[in-house]
Each structure stands twice: as structure tokens, then as C-alpha cells.
Amino acid sequence: MKLLPCPQHYAFLVVALLCLSGCQSPQKKESVFSPEAQESWREDREQLTKLHRSGVCELRWTDESGRRHFEPQVDCDLWWQPPSSFALQFSKLGETLGWVGGNGTQLWLFDLLSDPTQLTIIEPEAAENTLVFGLPLEGLLDGWQLQPLSVVRPRSPDLVQSRLGPATLFATGVGQPPSRLATVDGQLEVLYSGWNVIDRAQDDANGRSAGQWFPERVEWRLHAPEATATFWLRQPRRPLEQQRWNRLFDLDRLRRSLRPQRTSIVPEGLDPGGSAKTAGS
């Protein structure tokens, strides 16, 4: 015969559930960056010097044909040199899967997952329609908060202008770095956590370490086409840190090193309604 639990057991269960719910840490409330906070953050970003971060990422994206892809535990390195030179390397077990970069004049994408392997050179105006593992190529630097974001217009003081489109910055406290960037069209969110000072810069007039804040965790969430990418970037790997910086942003040297089998150029006159390229498809 199946015994029913006694009322005391029900009472104990209710108390336990109430305790568990009460012990959960409350969600931190976000507030929109005020115009004053925006100005302070712009000044901080203007003081950024070159940086190198290493870590891992997890990539989920949908390619142009609608196929879903998932790459867990991908090694990645990010190099940044103001005003607009950058390199982002994806690798696994020592093998480079992709390399994204730019020098302020051109952007490029080495897709070493495809067969044949490909190099795509993207003119600046065409970058808006280019996706790299589901991420918008044109907005990578803004999404990582590596460049100052200007005000959209005086009538919209809460909005900032980015290469991802007009967006809102949020923070969980006064004087804190951003916790989230959300575009006005609702298509993209970038979440930040684990901000730290990677190289202590000269303190500003308020005694705050200026110019070297960088988040350890950055999560991209795109809705159309659907894609998520989470990066955990910390101290650089020692062997990679010794590379000469000018090699990282030199397209000719990269081409000789990575040896793509095909090369294509996406011109500035690309139809805005089309998609230029999706890496890893």
C-alpha cells in the first residue's frame, strides 16, 4: 500500500522552499548611463593604450543557409592598438580556425574552416553587412568598449552612437563601467562582467584608475540572425605576447603565414540588403 506523506512533511517542504528562495542573491538593478556618466566613460576610453588578452570563447551562430553551428571551448586572442588596429584569433588545439583584423583602412577575415580556405578583404563601407561567426564585423571594437562612443543627438541624451547602431549603455552602480549595451532596434545586446584594471594607468583627478578597464567576460546576443558568443579573456599567453605587434596588423604578412587558398574582395558598393560573408559556413 502506498503511504501518503504526513502534514508535517508538507510543512517542512514549504519552509525549505521559502528558505531557498530567500537565500538566492538578488539581481542587481541596472540604470541607464547618464550624460555625465557617458562623458566620463568616453574620457576613460580615449586613454586606452594597446592591449593583449587571451582566453576561450563559445560560439553559436546560424550561417547564410540556415544551418546552426556550435564551437565550444575555442581558444582566442585579442590584440588592440589605437586608434583602430585590431586582431582576433580563433584556434583549437593549436590550429587556427579563423583570424579577423583591421588596420583602420581595411578589414579582413581569414576563414580557415571552409574548404577551400579563404581570405576576404572587406572595404570599410561593406563591413556593416559582414558577419564573423555570427558577430557583426563592423561593430567588434564598439561591442568590446575599445573606442569612445559619441552622443546620438542632444534630443536623445541617453543614447550613444556606435557602429552597431544607436544604443543604450547600462550600469549596476554609479561610477561603474557598463554592464550592458543594447541597440535601439532590439537586435543586439552585449553583456559585460568582471571589469578589472589590466595595467594601472595614471589616476585621474578623482583618484580613479583611468584608461585600462577591460571586462573578463563579454557575451554577445544577436537575434536576427540568431547567434551568441561568450568570451572569457584574461592575462595573455606568454608565447603570444612576445610576437611583434606590427606583424599582427600587416595583411601581407598574415597572408604569407596563414596561406589562404582563395582571396576575395568585398567592395564598398555592396548592396546594403545583402549579407557579405558569414565565417565558418
Write down the pLDDT at residue 78.
93
State how far the Cα of 102 lies from the Cα of 137, in Å rounded to an integer.
10
- Residue 165 grid coordinates: 547602431
Write down the pLDDT at residue 269.
45
* This prediction's pTM: 0.79
Instruction: Profile the chain (281 residues) by mean pLDDT over runs of 10 residues.
Output: 39 36 58 92 86 92 85 91 91 91 91 92 81 84 91 82 92 92 95 81 47 88 91 78 77 95 78 41 48
First vs last Cα of the chain: how many Å apart? 60
* One-character DSSP codes across 217-244: EEEEEEETTEEEEEEEEESPPHHHHTS-
State how far the Cα of 36 lies from the Cα of 175, in Å rounded to an integer.
10
Helix (H) or strand (E) holding 136: strand 135-136
Beta strands per DSSP E along 157-260: 159-162, 165-171, 180-183, 188-197, 213-223, 226-234
Write down the pLDDT at residue 27.
59
Write down the pLDDT at residue 139.
87
Write down the pLDDT at residue 189.
96
Q: Which CATH number fits domain 28-271: 2.50.20.10, 2.40.170.20, 3.40.50.1000, 3.40.50.150?
A: 2.50.20.10
> Residue 177: which of 35, 41, 46, 43 has the closest Cα?
41
> How many CB atoms neighbour CB 26 within 10 A?
5
Between β-strands 165-171 and 159-162, what pairing exists: parallel, antiparallel or unpaired?
antiparallel
Sequence ranges of the domains in the chain: 28-271
> Residue 127: which of 280, 272, 279 has the closest Cα?
272
Query: Is it true that the peptide bond before 177 is cis, omega within 30 degrees of 0?
Result: no
State how far the Cα of 32 lies from the Cα of 232, in Å rounded to an integer.
25
